Structure 1
Amino acid sequence: MQYSVHPPSEFICQHSEKLLPEWSTPVRSIVVVLQPSDRELTERCWETDLQKQILRSQFLEFGFKVAELLRQRGYLAELFDPKTGLPILSKAGSLRLDDVAVVRSTLGYGITPAGNCFTIVHPRWGSAVYPSILMSSADLSSVEAAVAGLRECHHSFRG
């Protein structure tokens, strides 16, 4: 698992009320989580679906722990379901998050068509990568500290 912490994109800042209508404070940071896949995620078959389910579960485990640490420190935190683009801990708004678009705008990675949608092209993993996004009202250093605390406990989480 690879992650990086960034300020929110202009799109997220402009549309945060449509993504997270219950939030009373602005999004101040996002965590981009990328996981390598055993296979290209452009393939449409049961093996790819199973791989996506496994990677989604791993992100949710990681994301819930990060969100809980941030919430304990008084911040808002939300993870977006990579499958639906909707928030998991908050009421959904009128807009779904496109995690591929967030990764593209934040990291500058290319994209490639995959059926009716797009997938990221990672510099090392190609399209065998599963992107996920977490947002928070915490500043970048607070989010980095929360994730670093998790990394000490879970060696599979690395930046």
Structure 2
Amino acid sequence: MQYSVHPPSEFICQHSEKLLPDWSDPIRSIVVVLQPADRELTEHCPEADHQKQVLRSQFLSFGLKVTEMLRQQGHLADLFDPKTGLPILSESGSLRLDDVAVVRSTLGYATKAIGNCFTVIHPRWGSAVYPSILMSSASRELVESIVAGLLECHHSLRG
């Protein structure tokens, strides 16, 4: 898994009330999570669909741990369902989050149109990548610390 923490883009700042209408504090940080897939996720086959389900489940499990820790410290935090573009824990707004556009704007990765959808082109993984987004009212430094701590704990448990 690859992750990075960023300030919100101008687009997200301008449209935060359409993404997270019940938030009383501004979005201060965005976590971009990229997971490698074992195949191109642009394929339309049962194997690619299964891989998307597995990676979505892994992100939701990880993201819920991050948001729980941030919320316990008094911050707003939510993860966006990669399947729907809607927040998991907060009220849904009138705008769905385009995770591919967020990856393009924050990381500068290329994207490619596949039918009506766009996919991220990762420098090492190509289109065998699953993007996901988490947002918080907490500082980038705090979010970075929590994410790094969870990943370190996860790796030591597997190690």
Give the TM interval when normalised to the shorter protein: over 0.9
- What amino acid is aligned across from residue 53 of structure 1 in structure 2? Q
Q: For 1:99-138, list aligned pairs within 5 A.
A: 99-138=99-138
Query: In the TM superposition, what whole-angstrom CA distance separates every residue of 1:39-72 from its partner, at most 9, and x where no partner exists?
Result: 0011111111000000000000110000001011
Runs of 4+ that moved beyond 2 A: none
Q: How big is the shift at 1:93?
A: 0.2
Q: How big is the shift at 1:115?
A: 2.1
Partners of 1:34 and 1:148 lie apart in 2 by 15
> What is the percentage of aligned positions where both structures have the same residue?
79
Secondary structure of 1:4's match?
A: strand
Structure 2 unmatched runs, 5+: none
Q: Normalising by structure 2, what TM-score?
A: 0.96
Secondary structure of 1:155's match?
A: helix
Give 1:46's aligned residue. 46
- State the Cα RMSD in Å: 0.9
Q: Normalising by structure 1, what TM-score?
A: 0.96
1:77 matched to 2:60? The reply is no
Structure 1 unmatched runs, 5+: none
Partners of 1:5 and 1:155 lie apart in 2 by 19
Partners of 1:58 and 1:90 lie apart in 2 by 20
Partners of 1:82 and 1:52 lie apart in 2 by 9
Partners of 1:82 and 1:75 lie apart in 2 by 22
Query: In the TM superposition, what whole-angstrom CA distance separates every residue of 1:9-45 from its partner, at most 9, and x where no partner exists?
Result: 0000000000000000000000000000000011111
